């Protein structure tokens, strides 16, 4: 599908070496509009919204940050570690604001499944429905984040 | 079908017009020479067309910026008293009402297309660009290094202990733009031709990947500075320092200053790490305990491993500071670390009666 000049510009910012060393797209060759569309379909199929996913990720990060780099147990089943580094990153979509370089890593202790994301990942999911390209180090597979964080939305 | 064709035609025309405008701006429009009047004191004749931020940068005037001119950090504020065009929607989210009243603008968004009159703090004139040689790269922990940098040819940098510099990362591998990243100075201000910075590796970071994987002893790099208002205040109050990770850097510089200038204020430095493998510069801190008459170094491990055989303080650094500090009323605090750590420390210090205006910090 064709994409707007706005998304084309954002996709350029997502290339390796622009905002981060490895970029946001991994080895995904699709255009950004297609990446967004496919993930939006998956998220809808899972019965959640981008905002609901981002809210849970943010809550987990918030709890993890209280331990200054130490692992903490959240809700009795999630081991959470948040590592902070100096500096902040801009959003590749040109959204105002800078996002701290914080990496959140979680392990669901019931299933031993792990995943990591950044403070910027949460913003990009909430505001832009962007879960990063396939193969990106911080790609969030919608099915996986719902499964690992056990996101259940009361209807 | 007709709707789709109409949308396609309009989109194509829009893209073509945008392309023509971009090409025209780059190759046809010529703004000639413009004058930037700074503080009614200094007049710079510059080539028009660029952003105010980059144009000033080319003239050796460095406005602090963290996003490379993308308009997303909101740091590069200057007062534009005349010229500069209308306020852009990209600037508005960063400007408070009182700043708008004072004609504050984001210098990365203001284009120099006519004569411009601006006001900037005088301290910015002290910020200069330096070429430095990497004298040594020292491993401190598995993910922290110290860079020893030597300024070229009789250059000197006047800085206050606690301030920071910005290191320029050149184009390398897939990195196609030069970027600047901020690092606190760890060395003593009395050695004006040598700069030490402590750098912790950021996963996939552009600058730290360059430093850890590409930079070698003998290489030349560019930096600018000094920046920042995190420095030791000239009072007689007791000093509390709290840091984590590479946040030790500005505290080390402040301790050098205290040792060299005979500042003998009672000082306690709480340094938080996860386990012993994250601790560094212990010998240097023990040396300060000998040279500074009333200095105590309190390293604390939040999760020591059994093999660490750790006999020192344990727990989060906030818990350790809470145990040690009895009354904060007549003390000053200097904090450097992650935003979460700094915010939590501020809360603890306030419960100890430390006034907000006596708490200084450098958040990552």
- Digit-by-digit pLDDT tens for chain B (364 residues) are 677 677 677 777 877 787 777 676 666 667 889 999 999 999 999 999 999 999 999 999 999 887 778 787 888 999 999 999 999 988 988 898 999 999 999 999 999 999 999 999 988 998 999 999 999 999 999 999 999 999 998 899 999 999 999 999 998 888 877 888 889 999 999 999 999 999 998 877 888 999 999 999 999 999 999 999 999 999 999 999 999 999 999 999 999 999 999 999 999 999 999 999 999 999 999 999 999 999 999 999 999 999 999 999 999 999 999 999 999 999 999 999 988 899 999 999 999 999 999 999 998 8
Structure token pair of residue B129: 């660009």
Q: Among A16, A21, A88, whose Cβ lies nearest the Cβ of B66?
A: A88
- Residues 96 to 155 of B: which have CB under 8 A from any A CB? none
Give the confidence band of A155 by pLDDT, cuts at 50, 70, 90: low
Query: Strand, helix or coil at B321?
Result: helix
What tokens appear for B210 in the block? 């360059």
Which CATH number is correct for B127-227, 3.20.20.70, 2.40.30.10, 2.60.40.10, 1.10.10.60? 2.40.30.10
Bond prior to A155 in cis (omega within 30° of 0):
no
pTM of this prediction exceeds 0.90? no
Distance from the A98 Cα atom to the nearest Cα atom in chain B, whole angstroms = 5
So where are chain B's domains? 33-124, 127-227, 238-363
What number does CATH give the domain B238-363?
3.40.50.80
Kindly write down the DSSP assignment for every residue of B183-237, as one continuous string: EEB-S-TT-TTEEEEEEEPPTT-HHHHHHHHT--TT-EEEEEEEE-S-S--SS-S
Distance between CA atoms of residues B78 and B53, nearest Å: 9
Note the pLDDT of residue B318. Answer: 96
Give all strands (DSSP E) within chain B, no chain letters: 33-38, 42-47, 77-82, 104-106, 116-119, 128-139, 144-151, 164-169, 179-184, 194-200, 220-227, 238-244, 267-273, 295-301, 313-314, 331-337, 359-363
Token pair 């500090």 in the structure block, residue: B325
Measured distance between the N- and C-terminal CA atoms of chain A, rounded to whole angstroms: 33
A145–chain B nearest CA distance, Å: 21
Residues 158-187 of B with CB under 8 A from A: 171, 173-177, 181-183
Q: Which residues of A touch B338 (CB under 8 A)?
A: 65, 68-69, 84, 100, 102
A68 vs B176, B206, B302: nearest CB:
B302
Token digits for A26? 């991994």
Nearest to B94 among A5, A90, A96 (CB): A96
The second-level CATH assignment, the architecture, of B33-124 is: Roll (3.10)
List chain A residues with CB under 8 Å of B93. 96-97
- For tokens 């959003």, what's the residue? A91
* A3: region left, alpha or beta (phi > 0 left; psi from -120 to 50 alpha): beta
The yes-or-no answer to whether B33-124 and B238-363 have a common fold is: no
Count CB atoms within 10 A of the CB of residue B14. 12
ipTM (interface predicted TM): 0.75
B114 CA: distance to closest CA in chain A (Å): 27
User: Domain coordinates of chain A in residue numbers?
Assistant: 5-148
- B60 at the A interface (CB within 8 A)? no
Residues 329-348 of chain B whose Cβ lies under 8 A from any Cβ of chain A = 337-341, 344
As a whole number, the mean pLDDT across chain A is 93
**For residue B208, which of B143, B153, B294, B271 has the smallest C-alpha distance?**
B143
């Amino acid at each position: 599908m064709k994409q707007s000049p706005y998304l084309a510009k954002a996709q350029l910012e997502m290339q390796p070496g622009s905002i981060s060393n490895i970029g946001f797209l991994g080895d995904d060759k699709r255009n950004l509009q297609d990446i967004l569309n496919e993930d939006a379909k998956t998220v809808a199929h899972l019965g959640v919204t981008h905002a609901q996913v981002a809210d849970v990720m943010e809550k987990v990060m918030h709890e993890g940050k209280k331990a200054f780099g130490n692992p903490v147990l959240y809700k009795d089943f999630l081991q959470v570690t948040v590592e902070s580094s100096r500096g902040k990153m801009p959003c590749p979509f040109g959204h105002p604001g800078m996002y701290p370089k914080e990496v959140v890593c979680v392990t669901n202790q019931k299933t031993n499944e792990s995943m990591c994301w950044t403070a910027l990942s949460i913003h990009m999911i909430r505001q832009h429905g962007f879960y990063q390209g396939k193969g990106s180090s911080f790609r969030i597979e919608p099915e996986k984040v719902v499964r690992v964080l056990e996101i259940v939305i009361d209807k | 079908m007709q709707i789709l064709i109409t949308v396609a035609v309009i989109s194509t025309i829009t893209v073509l017009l945008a392309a023509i405008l971009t090409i025209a701006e780059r190759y046809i429009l010529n703004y000639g020479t413009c004058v930037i009047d700074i503080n009614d004191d200094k007049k710079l004749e510059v080539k028009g067309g660029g952003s105010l931020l980059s144009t000033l940068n080319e003239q050796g005037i460095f406005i602090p910026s963290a996003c490379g001119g993308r308009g997303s950090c909101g740091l590069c504020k200057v007062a534009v008293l005349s010229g500069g065009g209308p306020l852009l929607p990209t600037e508005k989210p960063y400007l408070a009402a009182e700043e708008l009243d004072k004609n504050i603008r984001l210098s990365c968004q203001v284009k120099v297309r006519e004569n411009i009159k601006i006001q900037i703090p005088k301290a910015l004139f002290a910020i200069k660009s330096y070429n430095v040689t990497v004298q040594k790269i020292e491993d401190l922990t598995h993910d922290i290094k110290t860079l020893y940098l030597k300024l070229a040819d009789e250059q000197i940098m006047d800085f206050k202990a606690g301030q920071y510099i910005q290191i320029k990362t050149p184009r390398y591998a897939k990195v196609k733009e030069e970027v600047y990243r901020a690092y606190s100075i760890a060395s003593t201000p009395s050695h004006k031709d040598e700069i030490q910075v402590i750098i912790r590796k950021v996963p996939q970071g552009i600058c730290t990947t360059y430093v850890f994987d590409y930079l070698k002893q003998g290489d030349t790099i560019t930096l600018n500075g000094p920046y920042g208002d995190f420095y030791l205040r000239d009072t007689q109050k007791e000093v509390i320092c709290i840091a984590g990770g590479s946040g030790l850097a500005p505290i080390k510089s402040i301790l050098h200053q205290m040792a060299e200038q005979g500042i003998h204020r009672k000082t306690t430095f709480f340094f938080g790490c996860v386990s012993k493998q994250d601790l560094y510069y212990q010998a240097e801190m023990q040396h300060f305990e000998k040279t500074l008459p009333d200095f105590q170094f309190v390293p604390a491990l939040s999760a020591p491993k059994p093999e660490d055989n750790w006999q020192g303080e344990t727990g989060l650094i906030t818990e350790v500071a809470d145990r040690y500090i009895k009354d904060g009323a007549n003390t000053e605090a200097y904090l450097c670390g992650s935003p979460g750590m700094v915010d939590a420390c501020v809360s603890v210090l306030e419960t100890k009666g430390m006034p907000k205006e006596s708490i200084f910090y450098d958040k990552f």
